[in-house]
Structure 1
């Protein structure tokens, strides 16, 4: 067999790609493996924000941009602030993450980062060939983080929603934001037959990320998101003038589709493309950080990597919520309002982290409106 250019190629220098590259680099088991990290972008821009809740100190604390110990939930007729200890709500800016991990990769002599756009990946019995705009590489295994909705469009067994959003970091001429409290969900905005809410991360009294988010099937015209943010700033926060410092937008799949079935012996999908996003929330950052050690362990033991996770009861809980939101998208605000009205956020976070006991799960579920979920259960069972 001809000599390979690399042992491993990682496609995409986002959260999952950089975390995987760093995990491989610092593990002596892989010190003799040659690794190439490819991304079409130089990762020099602050193109996204990652947020997550966590107890105590964590591995990302050195690059945190902001931490909140309080959250605000707003429904149509219900509003409440919560202290979330022992949890903290943490934020990492994309640019800080990229700079930190790309600098770390410079310390691993067996890892190389190249800015080059991948155009095609071909699998064969002997190797994988990765074609880019500039080069062609051959390797033993590929870890591919590229996601597109065509992967799941033909899948009819599971509903597919999108968590889609546009966010502005705004600077206001006067104090507007409560800097110690993040607005986790504000459903007081018009729902228009969907699940729609505002999400506010305040950095200073006059600076915050204001994001308009939907859980729904279809995207909106970009002007719709922007008009909603403007209306929120003007009518809810009473801020007529502001400066937009940065913009971000995205779409995250919300589905219980088994992404692992797309893996082969030599091509493993990671991140969102690997199904590492929590189906019911779209949160991917901490999901990726928890999947990386499992992937590393499987690599070391040469285990089958068709599936890095089993269908557990939490998968079924996620499926029921997506069934309800897919068939009755307008009920989203009722479900979340009922939960936050009846249950503490600590239980909600623990449940979403999949760390609850069965007794706690029954307590969580009983906080939701019963009828839509009973119908969803019977539809799935029968």
Structure 2
């Protein structure tokens, strides 16, 4: 009885610490919103500025441009075209729902100082990239759904339906993320190990490299090369992801894509750029290492929450498809930011879990 009371008291204390920590994360986000012009480099707001001009009706895009056009029209519909502060607060508030949820849930586990620092970095990056006009705010909503939804098949279908709606309205490459996510969930349910998931990611990318020239008559490298065509030599494109091997054959395209996948998981090239990029690179290497080790540790456990299972597949599906489309490491970091809390959740939850217990919601 005394042990149970001590355990309950310890859990309550950890929850109070988690609540106080969440308040600190919220304060960090508010600081970045209020003093954005001073703290955030302008080059990190170019997309936001463009979306705002669309929301204000100053730029009208054709129906073929679903990416920027639809998100601009959504902000316009919400009446936020001339309300950048409210748009910023709304974006971070949506992200904070995920951040605080992860912080609260992790109170049940052993959280190290490094884990806390990762959450602080995630909050800071959210204040930079999501507290503005951004398509990734909706991605943060999708990740929050993946985290909070229950284990039922209705929840799974609802999440997939929302992800498909996002792919249709904003980013068509999310169809590929969804397809790979479903495959990874099925594989993970059968083999609860890390290596089958990585093999599926590599096989999926190789299949794309051979299928795209046959089906769509485009080389898999063309998406990134087209995005970077007008940016070579620009001061704002110092972190461009360039092909590792020269050539345009299908085999070289497949090899370059697989190399890009590895470089996104372990972005060593970022360490060789500027000091700022090196800091981002070390952060990503640390987080992905924690994540992959967390997936590996979870292979022998059967009581992990459904958010952990979704997080494994969603993160790997997204980084795999980013290996095809991301033009530079800056864009990669921005698009990955909504998933950062979920990556840490996967890393932490598989630690010190008892084996042989029943499933968790």
Greater share of residues in strand: 1
TM-score (norm: length of structure 1): 0.24
TM-score (norm: length of structure 2): 0.25
Higher relative contact order (Cα pairs below 8 Å, separated by 6+ residues): 2
Larger radius of gyration: 1
Greater share of residues in helix: 2
